[in-house]
């Protein structure tokens, strides 16, 4: 899917389409990067979007959330198992290393009001829309009399 | 899109959690990713030589929010392993933190062949 710099502002549905397209791209290009793709679930209410993603075994301090306009980037690192150095690994399936994913939204995020919480290995990020300032009327001053 | 009620386990997908197994001279350590689960929703059992891990996370849609699309749903987790080592059943330990379940199965150490000789 070509990159659309002006996505149709259909709210979270558009965001979901963008997610699916990005996921397809990641699957089609497995050699691109070494980070583990994340799965997202989205919830909405008036003026805000909530993102939920499972991040088991990850400490809060190892998660980075960056907001730039309508772009949210979530990245971080899976924690190493304390036993790994001293023990012999017999079977390994859990992800290692880094994870990263960028979400392009159809609205500007208010970075000052973004909230994130990590509970039971599930991360939630609440992204309020940036409030547009009310229109201001500007009166044209008549030319000053000389 | 399929949605389910987390309080009706039968409607939820059941998946095998991603699991690592480590071994030390003293123990087997099983680590499984079960995001959404906590102490109350996890069950670990050792019957005969089969270790079974089960977790039923209860994570509802946040109150006041409407679902707007999901690439995942928190499933039920279940996985069994056949344990070949001789395990001390009294020394079974399990803990969960940040959606990571860790089970330690201590090996029954072989008795020493050393023979004590009493002096008379």
Domain ranges across chain B: 9-58+74-107
- Domain of A92 in residue numbering reads as 12-128
Q: Do B21 and A54 touch (CB under 8 A)?
A: no
Residue A19 lies in a domain: yes
Kindly report, residue by residue over A8-57, the tens digit of the pLDDT: 545 566 666 666 666 565 554 444 445 567 899 999 999 999 999 999 99
Report the distance separating Cα A138 and Cα A144, nearest Å. Answer: 17
Is B13 within 8 Å of chain A by CB? no
Residue A93 lies in a domain: yes
Q: Which residues of A, range 104-143, sit inside 8 Å of B by Cβ? A: 118, 120-122, 124
Reported ipTM: the value is 0.79
Q: How many independent structural domains does chain A possess?
A: 1
Q: Do A88 and B34 touch (CB under 8 A)?
A: no
Is B46 within 8 Å of chain A by CB? no
Classify residue A37 by burial, with Cβ atoms within 10 Å: 0-12, 13-18, 19+. Answer: middle
Q: What is the CATH number of the domain that holds A119?
A: 2.60.40.790
Report the distance separating Cα A48 and Cα A110, nearest Å. Answer: 10
Residue A146 lies in a domain: no
Q: Do B74 and A124 touch (CB under 8 A)?
A: no
Kindly report, residue by residue over A81-125, the tens digit of the pLDDT: 766 678 898 989 999 889 999 999 999 999 999 999 999 999 999
Q: Do A40 and B18 touch (CB under 8 A)?
A: no
Both structure tokens of A28: 């089609």
Q: Which residues of A touch B70 (CB under 8 A)?
A: 40-42
**CATH code for the domain defined by B9-58+74-107:** 2.60.40.790
As separate numbers, helices (DSSP H) first and strands (DSSP E) second, chain A gives: 1, 8
Radius of gyration, alpha carbons of chain A: 21
Cβ B19 vs Cβ B30: under 8 Å:
yes
């Amino acid at each position: 899917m070509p990159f659309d710099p002006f996505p149709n502002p259909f709210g979270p549905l558009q965001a979901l389409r963008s997610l699916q397209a990005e996921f397809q791209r990641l699957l089609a290009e497995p050699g691109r990067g070494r980070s583990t793709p994340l799965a997202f679930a989205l919830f909405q209410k008036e003026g805000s979007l909530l993102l939920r993603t499972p991040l088991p075994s990850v400490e809060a301090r190892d998660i980075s959330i960056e907001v730039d306009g309508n772009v949210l980037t979530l990245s971080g690192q899976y924690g190493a198992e304390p036993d790994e150095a001293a023990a012999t690994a017999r079977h390994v399936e859990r992800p290692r290393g880094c994870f990263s994913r960028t979400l392009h939204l159809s609205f500007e995020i208010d970075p000052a009001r973004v909230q994130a919480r990590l509970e039971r290995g599930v991360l939630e990020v609440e992204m309020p829309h940036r409030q547009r300032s009310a229109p201001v009327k500007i009166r044209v001053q008549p030319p000053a009399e000389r | 899109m399929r949605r389910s009620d987390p309080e009706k386990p039968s409607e939820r997908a059941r998946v095998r959690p991603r699991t690592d197994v480590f071994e030390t001279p003293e123990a087997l350590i099983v680590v499984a990713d079960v995001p959404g689960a906590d102490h109350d929703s996890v069950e670990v059992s050792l019957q005969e030589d089969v270790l079974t891990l089960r977790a039923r996370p209860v994570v509802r849609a946040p109150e006041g929010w409407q679902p707007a699309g999901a690439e995942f749903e928190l499933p039920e987790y279940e996985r069994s392993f056949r344990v070949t080592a001789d395990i001390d059943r009294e020394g079974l330990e399990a803990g969960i933190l940040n959606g990571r379940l860790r089970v330690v199965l201590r090996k029954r150490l072989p008795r020493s062949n050393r023979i004590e000789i009493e002096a008379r």
